[in-house]
Structure 1
Amino acid sequence: MTDTDPTPHEALAETLQRAGAAGPTAQHFERAGSDRPPLVLVGAGLSSALIACCLARRHPNTRILILEGTGRPFGVHTWSFHDADVAEEEQAWLSPLVAHRWSGQEVRFRAHRRYLPSGYASLTSDSVFHAVCGLDAVTLKTHAAAAHLAEDHVVLSDGQRIEAACVIDCRGFRPSSSLVLGFQKFLGLEVELAAPHDVAHPIIMDATVDQKDGYRFVYVLPLSTSRLLIEDTRYADGPDLDQQALGQDIEAYATGQGFAIRQVLRREEGVLPITLAHDAKRFWSEVPCGIPQAGLRAALFHPTTGYSLPDAVRLARLVAEHWPASSPELSRVIEAFALERHRAQRFYRLLNRMLFLAAPPAERHRVLERFYRLPTPLIERFYAGRTTARDAARILTGKPPVPLLRALACLREAPLLGNGSP
């Protein structure tokens, strides 16, 4: 496969579009066994996929229509999670979407290296696409950009009106003045090597590299004996992504590790929000009344790591628990859930302010290096978004890796928001 060859995902998407461009068929509706309008998920991303898969398992007679404005549903992404991020009862419906699993992971810093016996797994755009397409009650419609969302219908950009039992907006991150952000930006290359590698488990953070553009680390996933995903990641103040420079840094890293790249199979890039301050009430006051929001659009992601899958799983379960529901009913449930998550994430936003505002960019790696000396269960709870008060005290105890006065100046998020919000 070359850089220009269509992937299996692209080929199947093209086939799907040719076969189903007119939308759900009568045969499909008959198989789903209901005359009720479908649940319409606007945007084919991680959150819509998880909602569809969870509902298909718990409410198999629910018809679901996923609308995607582009020709490539689920994009070009890798979504990863730690086993402890997801409750055991959710693994049954999540497992079909998983492309790779490992029994442990590693972090590397200049002062120390550590193996963590914590299970790790990744979903890919292809694995999610195939899992969703395998659900009998789900229809995926591409090149279907939504122009207007209402409680009981969606109007597409071509004027077509689609009736709905409920509409959920899953169209990705929505910028807002109620969010003050840093950025986690990355470029990843999936590469085939000229010879087998010796990477036995994911290297989720290799910070032995030169520090550039804030905190920099390399993320490595072993996908086969000769295939790796190598991502160069920066915790940076600005969102600009220089793909050429990051690509050169990845090649230099590979050479330094003794990896001879024979072929680049796939590229993925992204700029993830890292939340320093968040006025959640103001954020939700900006949301169209009565339209449920999901995923990044609902600001449901880990404020420090940028991982979105754990909250997307929780939200999918929440939708299933309250289904069937109208758009306004589900909107109220999701908003309450998001506000509770906001309160629970206060500590992570504090850490982010210390990382971005108190630590000089070239010294940010010291904050993470210190963190990865802590006990494994604490690290697992941190990634899962379940840090306890005792964990928080343990993380902050001792000599801070940032100047004390600058750390004290970061305690409150209201000054960043400029409106007196807590």
Structure 2
Amino acid sequence: MDTWVHIVGGGLSGLSLASALARHQVLPGPVVISEPEPERLAQKTFSFWLTDEEHAFLNPEYTQSKWQVSAEEFTISHTGQSFRYGTRSGQHVLDECQAVIASHPQINQVKEVIDATPKAEHVFDSRPIAPSSFRLIQSFSGTEVEFQRPHQIEAVGLMNRIESTDSGIRFVYVLPLGAKRVLIEHTEFTTKLADLSALQSMNRDYLSGEFSTNPFQTIRTESAHIPMGFRSTASHLGIPIGARGGMTRDATGYGYRTIRYACEAIAHDLVTNNQ
């Protein structure tokens, strides 16, 4: 039987669409998702705002009700009333999606590179886009560590120690992950690609300075360049989704919440209306 849906790219958006389709017991035809390195998703961290009613669908591992923004001369703190700040590891998302997909007999995951439009009734392109097409760039390097003792961090540091650079701004993102773990990211909003190794070095300096009396071990690191709008139109192998399809916010680079809801809606329309 001919392929009904072919999803090119198995990152967050590709897996979200495939798993949303997998929650329908019977599909109009076979689904293929092509991704050469599905394990890459495990090295990412996703954060998002959510209400209590959205908890089951967005499925955060951690939630925080306090957050702050700071620079040398000020600190602004806030406690959420309607919204919480949620976080999921890429591994958590990957495990959930792959378990749902693997249980559906009509969906097949293939480790392969696709560079031409595949033959299918519906084709979705979720491949990453080259940073050369970004209007602005969010460059970041993160270090997740585990301390010997509780870290006592009570609020998410969304944008701490904000400072200007020659091409934008730089800040520290501090994300507590339970009582003893924390993710530290140095981030730049910039017009040119930042030096990721230099940002990683800043993480080490920050940790050594802020937690000099609380020994820690590094669990993992992550680095990326995220689009904050596009200055040129890329060619697609099908209908673009994810960052390629404009599902990340230009102002922040956040995309998890939008992508999950959009893929759920796309899957519903495909199954019920075949469009």
- TM-score higher than 0.5 here? yes
Q: 1:311 aligns with which of 258, 265, 272?
A: 258
The Cα of 1:82 is off from its aligned counterpart by 0.7
Aligned CA RMSD, in angstroms, stands at 2.9
What do residues 121-160 of structure 1 show as CA deviations (whole Å, max 9, x unaligned)? 1121110111012211254333x111322341xxxxxxxx
Taking a change above 3 Å as real, the CA distance of residues 73 and 231 of structure 1, as seen in their structure-2 partners, is closer
1:102 is matched with 64
The Cα of 1:116 is off from its aligned counterpart by 3.3
Match of 2:88, SS state, is strand
Measured in 2, the distance between the counterparts of 1:211 and 1:256 equals: 21
Match of 2:74, SS state, is coil
What do residues 151-188 of structure 1 show as CA deviations (whole Å, max 9, x unaligned)? 41xxxxxxxxxxxx532111122567xx6612111100
Match of 2:271, SS state, is coil
Match of 2:41, SS state, is coil
Q: Does structure 1 residue 207 correspond to structure 2 residue 161?
A: yes
1:120 is matched with 85
Match of 2:239, SS state, is coil
What do residues 296-351 of structure 1 show as CA deviations (whole Å, max 9, x unaligned)? 1223210110111233124213312311389xx85xxxxxxxxxxxxxxxxxxxxx
Measured in 2, the distance between the counterparts of 1:252 and 1:211 equals: 19
Give every structure 1 segment of 4 or more consecutive aligned residues whose post-TM-superposition deviation is greater than 6 Å: none
Question: Are the counterparts in 1 of residues 19 and 98 from structure 2 also a CA contact under 8 Å?
Answer: no
The Cα of 1:235 is off from its aligned counterpart by 1.2
Measured in 1, the distance between the counterparts of 2:249 and 2:143 equals: 24
Runs of 5+ unmatched residues, structure 2: none
Question: Are the counterparts in 1 of residues 140 and 196 from structure 2 also a CA contact under 8 Å?
Answer: no
Q: Trace 1:3-82 onto structure 2 (pairs within 5 A).
A: 37=3, 39-57=5-23, 59-62=24-27, 64-70=31-37, 72-82=39-49
Report how many residues are paired. 264
Question: Are the counterparts in 2 of residues 40 and 64 from structure 1 also a CA contact under 8 Å?
Answer: yes
What do residues 384-415 of structure 1 show as CA deviations (whole Å, max 9, x unaligned)? xxxxxxxxxxxxxxxxxxxxxxxxxxxxxxxx
Higher helix share: 1
Taking a change above 3 Å as real, the CA distance of residues 317 and 91 of structure 1, as seen in their structure-2 partners, is farther
Higher strand share: 2
Measured in 2, the distance between the counterparts of 1:206 and 1:169 equals: 35
Q: What code does the residue aligned with 2:123 have?
A: V
Q: Trace 1:153-232 onto structure 2 (pairs within 5 A).
A: 165-173=121-129, 181-207=135-161, 211-212=164-165, 214-232=168-186
Measured in 1, the distance between the counterparts of 2:22 and 2:56 equals: 12
Measured in 2, the distance between the counterparts of 1:100 and 1:227 equals: 11
Measured in 2, the distance between the counterparts of 1:174 and 1:114 equals: 36
Question: Are the counterparts in 2 of residues 42 and 167 from structure 1 also a CA contact under 8 Å?
Answer: yes
The Cα of 1:68 is off from its aligned counterpart by 1.1
Match of 1:147, SS state, is coil
Measured in 1, the distance between the counterparts of 2:215 and 2:137 equals: 29
Question: Are the counterparts in 2 of residues 45 and 75 from structure 1 also a CA contact under 8 Å?
Answer: no
TM-score by length of 2: 0.83
Q: Which has the higher contact order (CA 8 A, sep 6+)?
A: 2
Q: Could you say which structure has the larger radius of gyration?
A: 1
The Cα of 1:65 is off from its aligned counterpart by 3.2
Measured in 2, the distance between the counterparts of 1:253 and 1:212 equals: 18
Aligned-pair identity in percent equals 25
What do residues 31-55 of structure 1 show as CA deviations (whole Å, max 9, x unaligned)? xxxx674533221111112212333
Measured in 2, the distance between the counterparts of 1:180 and 1:227 equals: 33
Q: Does structure 1 residue 83 correspond to structure 2 residue 47?
A: no
Q: What code does the residue aligned with 2:26 have?
A: N
1:321 is matched with 268
Taking a change above 3 Å as real, the CA distance of residues 317 and 61 of structure 1, as seen in their structure-2 partners, is same
Q: What code does the residue aligned with 1:266 have?
A: R
Measured in 2, the distance between the counterparts of 1:249 and 1:197 equals: 19
Measured in 2, the distance between the counterparts of 1:107 and 1:116 equals: 12
What do residues 256-277 of structure 1 show as CA deviations (whole Å, max 9, x unaligned)? 32354521110100111223x7
